[in-house]
A = this chain, B = another copy of it.
Amino acid sequence: MGANKVTLGRLAAHVAGRLEGPDDTELSGIAELASAGPEELSFLINQHDLETAKTTKAAAVLVSDSLAPVSLPMIWVSNVPEAINMALELFTRPPQADPGIHPTALIATDATLGSDVAIGPYVVVQNGTTVGDGSVLQAGCYLGRDCLVGQQCRFAPGVVIADRSQIGNRVVLEQNVVIGSQGFGYRCRDGQHRHIPHLGAVRIGDDVEIGAGTCVDRAKFGFTVIGRGTKIDNLVSIAHNVRVGEYCLIAAQTGIAGSAVVGNRVVFGGQVGVRDNITIGDGVVAGARAAIHHDLPPGVVVLGMPALERRQALREQAVLRRLPDWPARIKKLEQRLTDLESAADHRQRD
């Protein structure tokens, strides 16, 4: 990965902005005002930045209508953070990979490699496995037997793909991702746990991206499935026979237990937990650390442990914050009642 040189004119066009300044100035990256160098683009987010802009070395800035002009080349845009993300698309070169097959890569004789693949040092590709056109396997990746890897994939160093995995096109697997590990399923016999062999495998759809260190277990039979377009962060655990739908976002350290079914366009914050054998409807959003124990209908937003619908969760939390005052309050109620009761009792006896 590295940085391209991009002219101000091309940048302004790409971010759909209006340029005030020379369109042929070449830039090579983005930085905050205080740290930007003379070849870098910077940006103004708030009033405070107007001051910092006076001393920045940046070559130009992204700025929105809500702020005053500065004495630098400017690209006016409607949404600065969005424009930064778009600019990054121009600046960033994808990680470079030496084309061809490194002489230390061990490709089984009956493996099939597409055209324009790039296979790094110490990669191992076992028998019966196919790698599609333009895919990149960086150093030390391991592909087991009878796997199917699509086109234009990129596997970072240390990725391990177990036998019979099926991986779509344009799939990105970050460093040390594991696909197809044995599921955690045991039969108890005579007080000892005996592993249930997992005959199934993992199937990953097109355009899936999976973060560093994440592990996806193979199915008992059939497939553990990650649907097309789903993005998964670092150190996530996806158990055997889980089915994750399409276009989901699953943040770091989330765990999904065996045979759970996750719908399409579901969003999980970090450290979420999903119980085994439950079904999460399409479009569900679960806040960070939510512990989901039950089926969830489509579209609900849940928070907390156990995960509750957002409104209920927030109401409970609000009451909990006041809870420490209640014992005294209730005790006082009881005292007042006792006083009234003895007064009444006294009156009666009078």
Contacts and interface: CB of A to CB of B under 8 A. Distances in A.
Interface of A: 1-3, 29-32, 35, 82, 84-86, 88-89, 91-92, 94-96, 104, 106, 120-122, 124, 138-140, 142, 144-146, 156-158, 160, 162-164, 172, 174-176, 178, 181-182, 184-187, 191-193, 195-199, 207, 209, 211-213, 215, 217, 220-222, 229, 231, 233-235, 237, 239, 247, 249, 251-253, 255, 257, 265, 270-271, 273, 275, 288-289, 291, 304-306, 312, 315-324, 326-327, 329-330, 333-334, 336-337, 340-341, 343-344
Contact of A191 (B181, B247, B271, B327): B247
Scoring A91, A271, A291 by chain B CB atoms within 10 A of each residue's CB, the highest score goes to: A271
Contact of A124 (B84, B106, B140, B275): B140
Contacts of A30: 199, 221
27 contacts: A1-B164, A1-B199, A2-B163, A29-B221, A30-B221, A82-B187, A86-B187, A91-B199, A139-B142, A156-B162, A162-B175, A178-B234, A181-B211, A181-B212, A191-B265, A195-B231, A212-B217, A217-B234, A235-B235, A235-B237, A251-B257, A252-B257, A257-B288, A273-B288, A289-B305, A322-B327, A337-B337
A323 B320 contact: yes
Nearest to A187: B85
A215 B213 contact: yes
Scoring A32, A94, A106, A334 by chain B CB atoms within 10 A of each residue's CB, the highest score goes to: A106
A330 B333 contact: yes
Contacts of A233: 184, 237, 239
Q: How many copies does the complex hold?
A: 3
B162 A1 contact: yes
B270 A271 contact: no
A182 B177 CA distance: 13
Nearest to A128: B2
A178 B306 CA distance: 32
Nearest to A181: B212
Contacts of A82: 187
